[in-house]
Structure 1
């Protein structure tokens, strides 16, 4: 069982300085994946269908991230680098000083959805 009931509970548990950033990312994902459900999986908020996550986000003590499929990251590696952000195999890290641009969030979410066939 998750320790967070929903996205609101996850965001409320984050530090006050990170809440606006998380709210913005949530809204960006909701626009890009307008027919997807808000879900909690692995104690992290995400958007998807049933138990399939298309895109998720998180705020940890030292890192904030947007998590999508591997193919979405590799397909948009140049865009990620051009935005001055760093990526892992399945995520893009960001900060309050350097958030992920809205257009890039949408590109990553839609590419993840396409790769996952959802």
Structure 2
């Protein structure tokens, strides 16, 4: 990708398969878990916000990323993420080894809860 994306669709359109399909699937699961979240581009990657930054995703040469953006949520789900390379706020995965849909839902819902508690 040479041009900065202006929205989620343009980001995904610039990707080759199978990365395109894998991230489109991730986007669909995020939207299902957080239907009221707003899509935007943040720091050059597709992101979602609801009561603050929620989650985002991206593509690198060797892997795809799901940015959970919360060390606390990552720690709470560490036992379910052992099959993936992780950092304090992100999960690296490949199209051949995607993050399971139920886990995406749980992670997004945990972030929604975290953001809601900060709003009070």
TM-score after normalising by structure 2: 0.87
CA distance in structure 2 between the partners assigned to 1:40 and 1:71 by the alignment: 24
**Backbone CA RMSD of aligned residues:** 1.6
User: When the two structures are aligned, how many residues end up with a matched partner?
Assistant: 114
The 10-residue stretch of structure 1 (3-12 or 41-50) with the greater mean CA deviation from structure 2: 41-50
Structure 1 outlier segments of 4+, above 3 Å? none
Task: Spell out the pairing of 1:1-118 with structure 2 (5 A cutoff).
Answer: 3-49=4-50, 52-68=52-68, 69-81=70-82, 84-117=83-116
Task: Specify every segment of 5 or more residues in structure 1 that has no aligned partner in the other structure, as ranges.
Answer: none
Structure 1 residue 80: Cα displacement: 1.0
Asked whether the 8 Å contact 1:71–1:112 carries over to 2, the reply is no
> CA-to-partner distance for each residue in 1:16-67, whole Å, 9 max, x for gaps?
22111011000000001111011110010011148x3201011111221111
TM-score after normalising by structure 1: 0.89
Could you say what secondary structure the match of 1:107 adopts?
helix
